[in-house]
Amino acid sequence: MQFRTWCAPLAVACLAGHADAQTRFATEVTEYVQGGGGGIFATGNILGGPRGGGLNTGSLDVLSLGTGGSVTLGFDVIITDGPGADFSVFENPFLSGVSSFAEVAAVEVSSNGTDFARFPVRYAGPDLSVPGSGPVVIGSYSGLSGSVPVLANVDTNALDPFDPVEAGGEAYDLAALAEHPDVVSGAVVLDAIEHVRIVDLISGATTDDDGVVIWDQGDPLSGSDFDAVAVINHTGNTSANQPLIDLYLDELDVLHFVIGDPNGFFDLNFATWHASFNLVPMPITIFFGGGFQITDFSPTEVHFQSAGPITGTGIQAALAVSIEDLGGEFSGDQVIIQG
């Protein structure tokens, strides 16, 4: 399977069709709180597109938050809650065998620059205070950024930084915040997000939403290092005709996959189908002929779910899918599986 290209800067002939591409990355650092320890403290490094180092190498085009530090970013576009993932965050993790060298951070959004809603987080990795424990893998972290390597590099390759399947990093769906108190109160408006804040978490000193201690490879001498934030859905490109893509785990840890199109299921262009498992391309048959069953269907969408809960399967990974419709409109999504 070939990755879809987005007309990277090196592909000069197709730049005209993506004249707005750079404006879909963060364009302003509105606040930077430097944490402890060393690093690369150049705020300009987090602006513009990702410059990933690949599966096995961390990028140096980063802004280090330092332990407990944070950065708040502004954009030229307004992020909105569209189908699937709405934006992606790129740190600089890398793989060593199956282990992910991860230094993680929480991700928050705001529509007024004052009130921020934090995405739910869940840690399913080992207790690194115990000698010999591990490994930490990509699926150890849900809702946190810093464990999925970054493949997209706007200087050196044509991988689409707006496609969660091929870009790497962590993709975020604003719908996950629908029940957050600040969203319910109206302080944070999911169709009008103007700021993204990234907050470094100190390994062993922070808990997830279930009270589990979060561990990563960070220590008092280092913190997470961020490369870029890419906007997938914004007020200038979302429409009622976009394909529907939704990957999620329910309260019983059953994996669901919904795919469709408002103009009819067969308005989807399956020649543009992409899927990846830990950034390795995978065929469409994993859903249409694999371990999934159809639970609902209509003229516009099909709903698949796993045969049972993911819990206890031992599968921990990032699963992503994307597709265009026959009109060229795009949607993609990512889920972190913590079996």
Give the mean model confidence (pLDDT) for residues 263-274: 96
pLDDT for residue 87: 98
The residue assigned the tokens 């819990």 is 311
53 Cβ contact partners less than 8 Å away, ≥ 6 residues apart: 59, 60, 92, 94, 149, 150, 153
| Residue 337, helix vs strand vs coil | strand
Do 130 and 213 form a contact (C-beta atoms < 8 A)? no
Domain 244-338 falls under CATH 1.10.8: no
Band (pLDDT 50/70/90 cuts) for residue 251 is very high
Rounded distance between C-alpha atoms, residue 221 and residue 146, angstroms: 17
Q: Is the pLDDT of residue 5 over 50?
A: no
Kindly give, in sequence order, each residue whose CB lies less than 8 Å from that of residue 37, ignoring residues fewer than 6 positions away. 66, 67, 219, 220, 221, 222, 223
What average pLDDT does range 277-305 have in this prediction? 88
Q: Poorest-confidence range of 20-34, 135-149, 182-196?
A: 20-34
Contact, 183 vs 108, CB < 8 A? no
Task: Name the residue with higher pLDDT: 292 or 255.
Answer: 255
Tokens of 61: 């085009």
Model pLDDT for residues 45-85, shown as the tens digit of each residue: 999 999 999 999 999 999 999 999 999 999 999 999 999 99
Q: Is 231 exposed, middle or buried (0-12, 13-18, 19+ CB in 10 A)?
A: buried
| Predicted local confidence at residue 96, as pLDDT | 92
**pLDDT value at position 27?**
97
Which positions ≥6 away from 13 have C-beta within 8 Å? none
Residues 274, 286 contacting (CB under 8 angstroms): no
At a CB cut-off of 8 Å and minimum separation 6, what does 65 contact? 34, 35, 39, 71, 105, 198, 199, 200, 223, 224, 225, 226
The yes-or-no verdict on residue 260 having pLDDT over 80 is yes
Residue 277 has pLDDT above 50, yes or no: yes
d(CA 140, CA 80): 28
What is the pLDDT at residue 285? 76
**Distance between first and last Cα of the chain:** 27
pLDDT band at 289 (very low <50, low <70, confident <90, very high): low
- Over residues 289-312, mean pLDDT: 91
Distances (CA, A) of 144 to 68, 148, 149, 158, 331: 14, 10, 13, 26, 22
The DSSP output letter for 179 is T
The answer to whether residue 6 scores a pLDDT higher than 80 is no
8 Å CB contact between 337 and 295: no
Rounded to an integer, the average pLDDT of 122-150 is: 95
What band does 108 get if pLDDT is binned at 50, 70 and 90?
very high
pLDDT at residue number 283: 84
207-232 pLDDT, tens digit each: 999 999 999 987 667 899 999 999 99
For residue range 8-31, list pLDDT tens digits in order: 544 333 333 333 455 899 999 999
The whole-number pLDDT of residue 237 equals: 93
**What was the pLDDT predicted at 218?**
77
Comparing CA positions, the residue from 11, 232, 53, 63 lying closest to residue 151 is 53
Q: For residue 142, which of 110, 106, 114 has the smallest C-alpha distance?
A: 106
* In the chain, where the domains are located: 12-231, 244-338
Helix (H) or strand (E) holding 336: strand 330-338
Dist. CA 248–CA 196, nearest whole Å: 22
- Looking at residue 94, its pLDDT comes to 96
Which pLDDT score is estimated for 291? 76
Residues recorded for the chain: 339
pTM of the predicted model, to two decimals? Answer: 0.93
Least confident stretch, 16-25, 165-174, 251-260, 280-289: 16-25
Residue 252 buriedness (CB in 10 A; 0-12 / 13-18 / 19+): exposed
